[in-house]
């Protein structure tokens, strides 16, 4: 089928990416008509758990960013966009090093959507305005937007926007200005606000 061909082609592409900040794909195949990926086991858990334990320090948040951002650069250079970057997809190995997972899954989802009709790929709390609009020409800047949201969440314990429904949260990403992070943690350096406003600009240009 077309999906199977796409899956194999995309799996080969993902498996070729070698970067310390990308959870590697070791194998892929088909079992009882179900496609599968074999990825590295990451025993350190997800960034989600670290955020739940309390606001992270600026130095630790910076360390995580400095490790995973080059991984994003590496995949963006190959024309791959994650589309669903969030703390649950940032996993830690046994030594505390972070890596991004589920690149393949997000990419395959988009491949099937192209064939069957339009659908939104992503999680509303981390979606860029262009994702909310379902723009067809998404690029790596959508992942940069999500990275900004993740930085905000690491430093404050919650995302920049709250609402009663996922759709309402998505609409806030589309229309509402980014709140100053100093409102949540006044002691944080003002430079962080400038970084967030650039990463999460409504206009990706």
The C-alpha torsion from 23 through 27 and 31 to 34, rounded to 10°, is 40
Q: pLDDT tens for residues 149-189? A: 999 999 999 999 988 888 899 999 999 999 999 999 999 99
pLDDT 10s digits, 93-108: 999 999 999 875 555 5
Count of C-beta atoms within a 10 Å radius of residue 102: 22
Split at pLDDT 50, 70, 90, the class of 115 is very low
Q: What is residue 120's predicted lDDT score, i.e. its pLDDT? A: 54
Active site residues: 84
Mean pLDDT of 117-142: 81
With beta carbons less than 8 A apart as the criterion, state whether 28 and 15 touch. Answer: yes
């Amino acid at each position: 089928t077309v999906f199977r061909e796409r899956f194999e082609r995309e799996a080969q592409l993902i498996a070729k990416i070698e970067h310390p900040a990308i959870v590697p794909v070791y194998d892929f195949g088909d079992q009882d008509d179900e496609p599968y990926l074999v990825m590295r086991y990451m025993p350190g858990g997800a960034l989600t758990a670290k955020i739940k334990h309390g606001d992270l320090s600026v130095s630790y948040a910076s360390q995580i960013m400095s490790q995973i951002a080059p991984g994003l650069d590496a995949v963006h250079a190959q024309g791959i966009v994650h589309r669903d970057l969030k703390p649950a997809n940032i996993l830690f190995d046994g030594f505390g090093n972070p890596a991004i997972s589920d690149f393949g899954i997000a990419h395959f989802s988009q491949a099937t959507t192209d064939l069957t009709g339009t659908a939104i790929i992503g999680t509303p709390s981390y979606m860029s305005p262009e994702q909310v609009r379902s723009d067809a020409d998404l690029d790596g800047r959508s992942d940069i937007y999500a990275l900004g949201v993740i930085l905000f969440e690491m430093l404050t314990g919650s995302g920049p926007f709250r609402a009663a429904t996922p759709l309402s949260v998505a609409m806030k990403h589309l229309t509402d200005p980014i709140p100053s992070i100093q409102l949540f943690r006044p002691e944080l350096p003002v430079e962080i606000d400038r970084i967030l406003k650039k990463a999460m600009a409504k206009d990706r240009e």
